[in-house]
Amino acid sequence: MTPYRIAALAHAFAPHEGLAEALLPFATEAGDGAHDPAHILRVFRNAMRIHAEEGGDGRILAAAVLLHDCVAVEKSSPLRSQASRLAAERASALLAERGWSADDREAVAHAVLTHSFSAGITPETTEARILQDADRLDAIGMIGAARCFYIAGRMGSALYDVLDPLAEERPLDDRSFAIDHFPAKLFKLADGFQTATGRRLAAERHDRLQSVLDQFLSEI
C-alpha cells in the first residue's frame, strides 16, 4: 500500500490509529486476498467487539491483530503449521525496533503464536484468546465461505466432486474440493472458541455458514 492509503486506512483502527499507521506496512505480504488489509481490519473489529466485553490490554491486542499475518505461508505449503511461529518471531523483532519492552513483545508474540488453527497451541492470556476468536470469526459465516472459495481457487481446487459432493463414499479432500473444507475444518471452529463473547458470535456465523452450504448443495 502507498503511504497515503496506509494513513487513510489507519483511521479505521481507532483508538489505535498511530499504532496501525506504524505497523500496517508490515501487516501482510502481498498476493493473498484472504489475508489482506481488509482481513486485518475485520479481525481488528471482531477483536475490539470481544475486548469490550472480555477486557484485556487493548494496545497488546491491537498490535497482535496487526501483525498476526505478517509472514505469509500458503495453505499448501509444508511449512503451514509453522506460519504463526514465524509471524510471532517477526512481530517481536518489529516491536523491538520500535522500543517495545520485552514483556510487551512477549505478550504480542504469544497471541500471534497461538492464534492459528494449524499451530494447535492453547492461548494462555486474555489477549491471545481474543485474537484467536477474532481471527476464527473471519473463517466462518459469509466471509468465511467467500474466503474458502477464494483460497480454493488460488490452490487450483475444484468446487466439488461431481460424483460425490458430500463425500459419502470417499474421504474428505479439501485440497481437491472446496466444499470439503466446510466439514473438514470450518464446521469444527465454532466449538473451539475461547471467550463467551466469541462463542456467542461464532454460533451466529456457524448458522450462516451452514446456510451457505445448504443453498450451494440445493443448486447442484
**Which range has the worst mean pLDDT, 1-5, 55-59, 109-113?**
1-5
On average, the pLDDT of the chain sits at: 94
Half-sphere exposure for 162 (CA within 13 Å, toward CB): 1
In this structure, what C-alpha cell is assigned to residue 154? 488460488
- From CA 199, how far away is CA 218, in angstroms rounded? 28
Least confident of 43-47, 57-61, 79-83, 121-125: 79-83
pLDDT at 210 over 90: yes
Query: For the chain, first and last CA: distance in Å?
Result: 39
pLDDT per residue as tens digits for the range 179-202: 999 999 999 999 999 999 999 999
Question: What is the Cα–Cα distance from 123 to 151, expressed in whole angstroms?
Answer: 26
Range in 32-36, 75-79, 111-115 the model is least confident about: 75-79
Domains and CATH numbers, the chain: 1-138 (1.10.3210.50), 139-220 (1.20.58.1910)
pLDDT of res. 120: 81
Q: Are 97 and 25 in contact (CB under 8 A)?
A: no
pLDDT at 117 over 80: no
Global pTM?
A: 0.93
Asked if pLDDT for residue 7 goes beyond 70, the answer is: yes
Report yes or no: 133 and 153 within 8 Å, Cβ to Cβ.
no
